[in-house]
Structures are given as structure tokens and as C-alpha cells.
Chain A
Amino acid sequence: MSEPILSVRDLRVAFETRRGSLPAIDGVSFDIGRGEILGVVGESGAGKSVTGSAVIGLLDPPGRIVGGEIRLGGERIDTLPPERMRRVRGRRIGMIFQDPLTSLDPLYRVGEQIVETIRTHTDLSARAARTRAIDLLAEVGIPAPERRIDGYPHEFSGGMRQRVVIALALAAEPELIIADEPTTALDVSVQAQVITLLKRLCREHGTAVMLVTHDMGVIAEAADRVAVMYSGRIAEIGPVEAVVRNPRHPYAVGLMGAIPTLTQGSGRLAQIPGAMPRLTAIPPGCAFHPRCPKVFGRCRVDRPEPIRTDAAPARTGSDPASSSPSAVACHLYDPDAADRPAPAGGEPPVAFHAEPLQVR
């Protein structure tokens, strides 16, 4: 098995506040292999963006890493001094954020910004860097790049700006790209273009991508594997096909049922009662238990650890999915749990019922 590009083990991030230390990320582990796109989904407050910020070392205070480790190509990066981490960012980890306008300086031509990035991280001459910048713009699909390179960000449309940001992220040929909601600010037709571009670049350069988004449709189309986050923990992780078609964790089951799709008719959507708990009031045991239809005694006291669910864990080869197994953090799948309500098999044991409106 080849070494994963990014390896996160038992990552814990806390926000120190006057009311104590709030656990935003609580024991998150995952790997991303070469050329692999890992989708990280969850609702607002699940901790998906914080995970991305922790990996690139840009946690906003008062947030800080309080445990676990992050390795990039085998080298530990969460303990690097800020000055060394600054050289890793941009050079070895590229970043794409939601709003392309805030990632670009409105006062500089886009070419100057790309050339600056290239020259900061490589020893190319100014002339060679400019040629490389034009190549990059061409690669991300900007028409007439030799002319557009001298344009200012406001002269580009939203989709074209996001392409420029992707070119910036690729400038130093990083091993890993963190893309935080890269298509959320774009219209659907442009969003499709950006997803296709991201997938092609990832394949051609062998870049590992951590794709953070709330849009399950984007994940289904772009990602190889997906991690579903809830209350700062990974509820379920596995190949995208398995998690979308046959989710195991009751939260993932509810989430998939709640998403309206184009193919299904217009019946009622499954709904999960309630909302995600606030950081100040994460319930004991499984954080999902107050909303879970399959809750049993142990869920209220015992925090579930990730349980491997793939049949052949020792698979080897070039398959990127094998670098990390599927896992689900739910007591329903623990073979040792004697009092669980239903046997855990391949089938999701949970059915969400669409309850009719209560008339009182």
C-alpha cells in the first residue's frame, strides 16, 4: 500500500472561550491518497471547514489543535513553527476558498498574483514564471490567457475568477489541495464546469484533494471517498458509492433521505427531527443519540468508536480507496454490543418515517 499524501490521526481542535474549552473537532482520523478526492460533508457547525483550516495551519484564534497529528507525505506538519508552515502552505498545500473575490487582491493584475506565487515557491525567473502563469491559465480553461493575464480580478466573471484561484492553487504544483466550498458561490452550469476541471487536474497531476462542501450532489459527482461529519466527529467514511447508495450510520441515512433529487418523484422527504447540537451542549455518548430513531441504552453513555465495515481490510494495490477503510461510528454495528436492537448487516437498519403534521 502506498503512503497516503495526507494522514490525519485523532485530530482534536478546541475553541477556548470564557465558558470553557469547546470541542469543535473531537478525534477525527482519515487519509487521502495520491490523486484521490476525499469529500468532507456535513451541515453547518459539523466541523468540516475547521478540519480544513487545521490541516493548513490557519485556525482562527481562539481555535487551536489540542491533540492528534497531521502528516503530509509522512512528515508531521501540525507541530511546525509558523515560519516553516508558511512555506508548506502554497508550496505543498494549495487552497481554494468559497468566494474567489476574497482570495484575489483587487488591486493587482491576476498575472502578477500568479507570478508572485510561482516565484515565492520556485526559483524561476520573472520571464519563465510569466510563461508558466500563462500555461496555468490555459490549463484551467481561461480563453486567450496571454491577454487575460493582464486583467484585474473585477474584469473576470465569477466562474472565471474561481478558475484563476484554482490556477493560483496549482501554481507551485502542490501535493494536496484543500477546497472549501469551491462551487457554492457559483451558478449550477458554472459549478459543473469547475467540478469537471477539478477532477481532471486531480487526475492529471496526481494531486490529493480534500473537498469540503455541504452539497452532497457535488460530492457524489466529484469525490472518490466521502467522510460524513457530525458534531466534530466522523460519523461514517467510505467509498462515495457505498455511502450515498447504502449509508449505514443513522445520521447518514437520514441525511441522504433528506436530499431532494431530480430523479425521484415528489413524495415526502425523510426528515431528521431536531437540529445539530451546539458546541456548548454536545450530548454525552453518541452526539447524534437525541435525534436517532435507533437509539438504545449504550448510545447515551458510551461514545462509539469508528468500526471497520469493509470486508477485506488487507486489500493491497493501486486502488486509492484501499489506503483507508470504510468505517462507521455507531454502536449498531458493534458485534460485541449485546443489547443493540437490530442485527447489523449490509442493509441500513434504519428507516425514517415521514410523520404527518401533528394537529393539536
Chain B
Amino acid sequence: MSAAAPYVEVDGLRRVFDVSKPWLNRMIERAPRQTLKAVDGVAFSIARGETFALVGESGSGKSTVARMVVGLLPPSGGEVRITGISMTDPRQAAARRRLRARIQMIFQDPYASMNPRWRVGAIVAEPIRAFDLIQGEAAIRARVGALLELVGLHPDDARKYPHAFSGGQRQRIAIARALASEAEFLVGDEPTSALDVSVQAQILNLMRDLQDRLGLTYLFISHNLAVVRHMATRVGVMYLGRLVEVGGGREIFVQPRHPYTRMLLDAVPDLAHIGRSRVPVAGEIPNPIDPPPGCTFNPRCPLANARCRSEVPELRNGVACHAAEEGRLPA
């Protein structure tokens, strides 16, 4: 693998869920099969040491992408390659097994992502044992203690159970567990959404410090645009299973191009907007089982024309929008 190759490459990624009624109902009601395209042709790449963030509202498919990238969910189409190794190709199974240890995930709910009957020491040591990385109990204990210190906890905390910790401390334990297998790529699916703001700040700062020290690569999933602004080097905006805009963290926020990105940024309540009054964008995300034809954003888009209602826009130069391509975007 050359140094210039991206760490993660995602190409034409698709995922279809079957949401049909049970067989008997379909027979009686003569209802056809129904499918939901949760992710439809998503492509992006993440460079080593970078934080790539996916933002979008609920139902946009961002978590589904994250689960496919780490291999928790098989894609219906397309490919994920990490350090050049395909996550789906059966011929690369052996290489993939070695890679697995270096990919870890941090989940949203720190209360649900840990076994309440295991001591913290066992939780953090689990990846070490699963991948057989260190031999000998004393060596494992020392490594767990070092990991707990790394995330700002005390080595003695290894003897306690998860219930003794607050949400923020549990998220630190989850990060320690993720790093236990010497992971270099962390996928965080809303890692701070369940936390209070002052604790969120602690975890976000910790994640950035660890990235600086260990050279980690992050895929960061969030619905909170301000958190993404704070964390991401590059950002992908998703809407109904498609990437509508990709760009550098600054560009997306300072000069958004896609009408949906603009709407989203305009809608976020922000400390800088004290007492502002405005005309919010009408409408909500359509039902993904029956998305509108053409550009899926066209029913809510102020710039939509006949082409937008019939033809799906391709992602070109970082934006998937006919209006942007035709130069119809207002400044």
C-alpha cells in the first residue's frame, strides 16, 4: 500500500432492507414486496489521521454506513476497502482478520454497550484476549491500567463494575476498550449524543488528544452540526441514503453549496443567534420506502425545477445538485 492511498475507501455502497409485510399478509392483501434503500450509492474516502464526519437527520442512512464500514452489516452492493483490503471479498479473509483488530467502534449509549456483570478490567481486556495480543495475566492487567490512565481514569477503576461510573466515564471506558486492540481506525456513532454538554466537551477533547498522540483515523457520525464543525477535517452530508455534499470541514460550514446543507445549517439553533426570528424551511424528510423521484430533496428545495423532479443528480465536485451544476445557486 502506498503512503498516498486513502486509509478507507468506500465505493458505490448500497444497503437495501426488506420491509415487506409477512408472507401470509402479502398473499391475503395481494401486497407486493417492499424494500427500503437505506444507503444508495455512497462513495467517499478517508485519509490516514483524518476525521471524516457524516451528518444528516434521522433516517438519512449515516449509521447504516458506519455499520457497513466496520463490517457489522453486509452491504447489498458496493465495496469498503480499508488499507486496500476489501471488507467483503472472501479471497482476502485472512488479511481481513488481521485488520479487524485495528478497527473499533464507539457506540452512542454507554449504558447499553457494556456488560453490567463484567468488571471494567475484563471489559477493557476483552479485545486483548479476543485477538490474543498479550500473554500473561500480569501483562494484560498492566496494559489495562495504562489504557485507563490514557483516557483519564485510574488503574484501580479496573476492579469496579460499570454501574459505578457516570455516562461520561463509561464513554471513556468504551474508548479505552476500543484502543485496547491497538486500533488505528475508530468509528464513533453519535459517541457524545447521550452526554451532557460539559461532559461532551471532555469526551470530544479526549478524542482529539488521542488522535494527536496516536495518529488515529476517525469516522464520526453525528446529527449535531456544531459537534461536527468542531471535530471534522472533512464532512459528508447525507439525505435519504445519498451523499448530497462532501467537502472540507471549513468549506461545508462557511460556503455550503447544496440547498439541503444550507437549510440544515440555517435551522440549527446556535448561541450566536440570540432571539433571531426567521422563516424555517417547510416540510420533513419523506418516507424512505417511497422516496420522491429525481433528487430526493426536490419537494423541499426552493430551487427545484423539472429536471430535479425526474433526474437523480450525481455527486460531482463534491455536490450532488442540478442547480449547483447549472450555476443556479444563489450566492
Q: Which residues of A contact B (CB under 8 A)?
A: 43-44, 157-160, 187-193, 195-196, 199, 214-218, 220-222, 224, 240-241, 244-245, 254-263, 265-266, 268-273, 275-276, 354, 356-358, 360
List A contacts of B166 (CB < 8 A).
275
CB distance from B67 to the nearest CB of A (A): 20
- Taking CB atoms, residues of chain B closer than 8 Å to A269 are 201, 204-205, 230
Would you call B200 and A258 a contact (CB within 8 A)? yes
Taking a contact as CB atoms closer than 8 A, the residue among B196, B197, B270, B283 that contacts A220 in the complex is B270
Residues of B within 8 A of A266 (CB): 229-232, 249
Of A158, A214, A262, A268, which is within 8 A of B205 by CB? Answer: A268
Give every chain B residue within 8 A of A159 (Cβ-Cβ). Answer: 284
B178 CB, min distance to chain A CBs, angstroms: 16
Q: Which chain B residues lie closer than 8 Å to A241 at the CB level? A: 274-275
Residues of A contacting B142 in the complex (Cβ-Cβ under 8 angstroms)? none
B280 within 8 A of A: yes
- Per the 8 Å Cβ criterion, residues 269-321 of B in contact with A are 269-285
Residues of B within 8 A of A190 (CB): 284
Which stretch from B21-29, B34-42, B113-121, B260-268 is at the chain A interface? Answer: B260-268
Top 8 A-B pairs ranked by shortest CB distance? Answer: A217-B269, A258-B201, A43-B196, A260-B230, A187-B57, A357-B209, A269-B201, A192-B267
Interface residues in chain B, defined as those with a beta carbon under 8 Å from any beta carbon in chain A: 57-58, 149, 152, 166, 168-169, 196-202, 204-206, 208-210, 213, 223-227, 229-232, 249-250, 253, 263-285
A270 x B274 contact (CB < 8 A): no
Do B274 and A214 touch across chains, with their CB atoms under 8 A apart? no
Taking the nearest CB of chain B, how far is it from the CB of A160, in angstroms? Answer: 8
List 24 A–B pairs whose Cβ atoms lie within 8 Å, in order of A's numbering: A43-B196, A43-B198, A188-B225, A189-B284, A191-B267, A193-B281, A214-B197, A220-B270, A220-B273, A221-B273, A224-B275, A240-B275, A260-B204, A260-B227, A260-B229, A262-B225, A262-B272, A266-B231, A266-B232, A272-B198, A273-B202, A275-B199, A357-B152, A357-B206
B274, A187: Cβ atoms closer than 8 Å: no
A188, B223: Cβ atoms closer than 8 Å = yes
On whether the beta carbons of A196 and B280 are closer than 8 Å, the reply is: yes
Residue of B nearest to A157 (CB): B284
Among B197, B200, B206, B281, the one with the most A-chain Cβ atoms within 10 Å of its Cβ is B197
For B266, list chain A residues within 8 Å (CB).
192
Asked if B268 contacts A193 (CB within 8 A), the reply is no
Contacts of A222 in B (CB 8 A): 269
The chain B residue sitting closest to A259, CB to CB, is B197
Chain B's closest residue to A41 (CB) is B197
Q: Which residues of A sit under 8 angstroms from B280, Cβ to Cβ?
A: 189, 192-193, 195-196
**Complex: A255 Cα to B272 Cα, angstroms:** 15
B267: chain A residues at CB < 8 Å are: 188-189, 191-192
Distance (Å) between the CB of B290 and the closest chain A CB? 14
| Distance in angstroms between the alpha carbons of A204 and B40 in the assembled complex | 45
Which one of B226, B282, B283 contacts A261 once the chains associate, using CB atoms below 8 Å? B226
Residue among B149, B202, B264, B281 with most chain A CB within 10 A = B202
Chain A residue, CB-CB nearest to B287: A157
B223 to chain A, nearest CB (A): 7
- Alpha-carbon separation in the docked complex, A291 to B226 (Å): 25
Contacts of A276 in B (CB 8 A): 196
Kindly list chain B residues whose C-beta atoms are within 8 Å of the C-beta of A191. 267, 269
- Per the bound structure, the CA–CA distance linking A276 and B202 in Å amounts to 14
Whole-angstrom distance between the Cβ of A267 and the nearest chain B Cβ: 8
Chain B contacts of A271 at CB under 8 A? Answer: 198, 201-202, 205
Contacts of A260 in B (CB 8 A): 201, 204, 224, 226-227, 229-230
Q: A268 contacts which chain B residues (CB < 8 A)? A: 205, 208
Q: Pick the contact of B282 from A193, A224, A259, A262 — CB < 8 Å?
A: A193
Q: How far is the CA of A216 from the CA of B197 in the complex (A)?
A: 9
| Residues of A with C-beta under 8 A to B208 | 268
A262 with B264, Cβ < 8 A, contacts A196-B277, A216-B271 known: no
For B152, the chain A residues whose CB sits under 8 A away are: 357-358
Give the most central of A44, A189, A269, A271: most B CB within 10 Å. Answer: A189
Partner pick for B196 among A189, A214, A356, CB 8 A cutoff: A214
**A113 vs B226: C-alpha distance in the bound complex, in angstroms?**
38
Q: Please report the C-alpha to C-alpha distance between residue A357 and residue B227 in the assembled complex, in whole angstroms.
A: 20
- Residues of B within 8 Å of A158, CB to CB, are 284
In the complex, the answer to whether A240 meets B274 with C-beta atoms within 8 Å is yes
Docked complex Cα distance between A195 and B204 (Å):
28
Residues of chain B within 8 A of A157, CB atoms compared: 284
Point out which of A192, A193, A224, A276 has the most chain B C-beta atoms below 10 A from its C-beta.
A192
B57, B198, B265, B281: the one within 8 Å of A258 (CB): B198
Nearest-CB distance from B177 to chain A (Å)?
18
User: Would you call A44 and B278 a contact (CB within 8 A)?
Assistant: no
A217 touches B275 (CB 8 A): no
Residue numbers in B under 8 Å from A160 (CB-CB): 284
